[in-house]
Structure 1
């Protein structure tokens, strides 16, 4: 495998992790929103990755295949004074688990950071290779 393939692989992974981070940020931003733009509780979203073939048969990158909504039931919060409360006093809140989203954010940011370090190490190796012929 060529060192130049590392840039393509790490670049695709960084792009995918950046989209994952944006999705997590959206989930966290809407964790306490009683309604979304369509009037229903916000639904947590997750990013689905898949392998992305490249020109070389033994090398593949990563891409975001789709972003899926979690169709689990909304979290019910007892707040009878809330204007959106039902007749029993419960408000339907988003199905976002803040703890899981924070773990997901840490995982995505570390994966992104690892790909940056991989690209930097590859760049350093290429630069050292260029200096081999210099005497």
Structure 2
């Protein structure tokens, strides 16, 4: 494996974690987004899965987004008969977003992103030092 492979692997990890951060941010932003029609479904939490992609020519694996899906867990119910989306019993379906889960996912994605960034910076530094040594 050479320096460009290492930098490419780190870049793919950073891209995947960026997508993960965007999904978590979207989920948090829609934590209270309900339907305006009676009994309608609110915002459904998004999920993200990754896949390992092998570059056959170099034998190097990287990570890519496999799928952005929807969390099929149940919606929370809140009693609010004055809400335009309330059903005949006065309950409103609330999004299945748990802010604590999203915040923890955000922290984990940030740490993974930072680790990939550090790997990329070290690889670039080693490459620069190698070139410097070859010049002398």
Taking structure 1 as the reference length, the TM-score comes to 0.90
Match of residue 15 from structure 1: 15
Alpha-carbon separation, structure 1, partners of 2:112 and 2:4 = 20
Match of residue 73 from structure 1: 74
- Please list every run of at least 4 consecutive aligned residues from structure 1 whose deviation after the TM superposition is greater than 2 angstroms: none
Residue 53 of structure 1 aligns to a residue whose secondary structure is strand
Mapped pair 1:56 → 2:51: no
Alpha-carbon separation, structure 2, partners of 1:44 and 1:106 = 18
Match of residue 102 from structure 1: 103
Mapped pair 1:132 → 2:129: no
Q: CA deviation at 1:89?
A: 2.1
Unpaired segments ≥5 residues, structure 2:
none
Alpha-carbon separation, structure 2, partners of 1:41 and 1:120 = 43
Alpha-carbon separation, structure 1, partners of 2:86 and 2:93 = 8
Taking structure 2 as the reference length, the TM-score comes to 0.90
Residue 24 of structure 2 aligns to a residue whose secondary structure is helix
Residue 133 of structure 2 aligns to a residue whose secondary structure is coil
Q: CA deviation at 1:80?
A: 2.4
Instruction: Calculate the aligned-residue CA RMSD, in Å.
Output: 1.5
Alpha-carbon separation, structure 2, partners of 1:123 and 1:71 = 43
My pick for the range that moved more, 125-134 or 96-105, is: 125-134
Unpaired segments ≥5 residues, structure 1:
none
Residue 92 of structure 2 aligns to a residue whose secondary structure is strand
Once the two structures are superposed, the pairs formed by residues 28-47 of structure 1 within 5 Å of their partners are 28-35=28-35, 40-47=41-48
Match of residue 4 from structure 1: 4
Q: CA deviation at 1:134?
A: 4.5
Mapped pair 1:24 → 2:29: no
